[in-house]
Amino acid sequence: MAISLWIQGLPDDAATAFVEHLKYHPKDTITLANDASLALMQGNTERCLNRVEAALTLTSPQDGLFAILPFLAWVASPTAQRLQSVIVAIEQLDPLVTTFEWDFSYNIPALERLTEKDRATADALIAFFEGKSSWETIKPSD
């Protein structure tokens, strides 16, 4: 229900629906990740980071969210340390993780708030997540 509210252009109602769902299903990683993405779009950094933190405790390198969640945290608060967390997560992914189920179009408002340099990094990482680039091609240099 929360996703459909979000798609209908009712992000505040969607956020409320996510909160209600998480009251009964606090370990639902997909809902935690989706609410983190919604919070990111809304510019609510604190909620985004809290949801990412909660979801990360429930994921493993066998799950694509293991790398997407740190990416969302980095977009919410782009620091060198958070970017390093994205890199480490990607490099720790199980080799069997070859596809990522995530729609980055919902994150465009947040991506537009990034500096030009960070936006280029975000675009390269999204290209990797979407299977358009290899990790070797886009890996940020030290």
- The 10s digit of each residue's pLDDT in 24-47 is 999 999 999 999 999 999 999 999
Per-residue pLDDT at 48 exceeds 70: yes
pLDDT over 90 for what percent of the chain? 85
- The CA-atom distances, in angstroms, between 56 and each of 74, 96, 124 are 14, 19, 22
pLDDT band at 142 (very low <50, low <70, confident <90, very high): low
- The CA-atom distances, in angstroms, between 28 and each of 22, 50, 64, 120 are 7, 14, 15, 31
pLDDT recorded at residue 1 = 79
pLDDT recorded at residue 79 = 93
pLDDT over 70 for what percent of the chain? 99
Q: Which CATH class is domain 2-138?
A: mainly alpha
Per-residue pLDDT at 141 exceeds 90: no
- N residues, the chain: 142
Q: Which of 54, 24, 53, 50 is nearest to 39 (CA)?
A: 50
Give me the amino acid identity at 115. T
pLDDT recorded at residue 35 = 96
Chain Cα centroid distance, residue 41:
11
- The 10s digit of each residue's pLDDT in 50-88 is 999 999 999 999 999 999 999 999 999 999 999 999 999
In the chain, where the domains are located: 2-138
Q: What is the pTM of this model?
A: 0.92
